Amino acid sequence: MFQRETCLGLEDFITVSSRLHATQAMNRDLLARKIHLPSHELPAESDGRSITFEILCLQTRLTFPGTGTMPDLDFDFLRSFFSLGASAAALASSIYLWLSRFKKEQPNLSIEQVSPLLAEFVWPRNFAELYQAIVPNESEGLVCLWTNVAVINNSTMPNAVLQIDAWVKLANGKWQPTIVDLCEEAKLPINVEPHSTSRLSLQLATKLPYDSTRSSNQDRVDQAMVQLAENRDVKIRIRGVKQKAFQAIVVQPRNLAETKFGLSADASRRAA
């Protein structure tokens, strides 16, 4: 496209025109410097109206884009460009907010340990129902583990704990499944409101082999307990709505002596 370039300002043009009408014989060099034109391009001296008209024709040129001149602004194009940019920004913002909301509404439960993990070898006289449920053979005994965990709902939608599974880590690195019971007479399912926490008191029981020919019960207990990992690692997995599973590993930070002492008191309360 052709673009129009006007090198002579309006105020300068009026001044030049007035002087041309007044004198009709202005010095050509001074006029050339005034309007930024080479002196040889100026028209010959004549009446003021003729010179004014010819100067205007010389000062209005047709130029091509890219010649270093300032192009005229196309306000319709700019208006359309900024309108399109604003629409694109609004669309991107809407998509981002929708994705953020969608992510926050997805099931998202996490598990945090809130009390130490306690472990103890238990006997049939104190845990008869548990022995009847698991039915270990003559060369096996039951080991119980207790802990409290918090189930945190990080979603903006309500959720529920529908199933709890747990495994205890053995000294050989394998994970052995356990029988999970809820203490304090809690029952599944357990509802968890949005951005809230529910406390679960868990009892985990598993059977471990020992040498039944040993003379003392303490030898049998020691042989069974030594098969557990040193830190008493326990892996807990819960299932919520839409069958989505979440799991965490809780670790026993206490030493064995503290664990036995704490569980002896807890086991006595349960037996009573």
User: pLDDT tens, 70-88?
Assistant: 455 567 777 888 888 888 8
pLDDT number for residue 8: 47
Q: What is the mean pLDDT of residues 111-122?
A: 87
Mean pLDDT of the chain: 72
More confident residue, 151 or 230: 151
User: pLDDT tens, 122-160?
Assistant: 888 888 888 888 888 888 888 998 989 999 999 888 999
Fold of 109-271: Immunoglobulin-like (2.60.40)
Counting residues of the chain whose pLDDT is more than 70, the rounded percentage is 65
DSSP notation for 9-71: -HHHHHHHHHHHHHHS---HHHHHHHHT--GGGSPPS--HHHHHHHHHHHHEEEE-TTSS--P
Counting residues of the chain whose pLDDT is more than 90, the rounded percentage is 15
pLDDT number for residue 126: 85
pLDDT number for residue 75: 73
N- to C-terminal Cα distance for the chain?
Answer: 99
| Structure tokens that stand for 158 in this block | 């309500």
Q: Is the per-residue pLDDT at 196 higher than 80?
A: yes
User: pLDDT tens, 25-68?
Assistant: 444 554 555 555 554 555 554 444 445 445 544 444 444 444 44
CA-to-CA distance for 125 and 34, rounded, in angstroms? 117
| Structure tokens that stand for 26 in this block | 């202005």
pLDDT number for residue 63: 43
- Measured from the Cβ of residue 38, the count of other Cβ atoms closer than 10 Å reads 7
Of these ranges, 6-15, 108-117, 244-253, the one predicted with the greatest mean pLDDT is 108-117
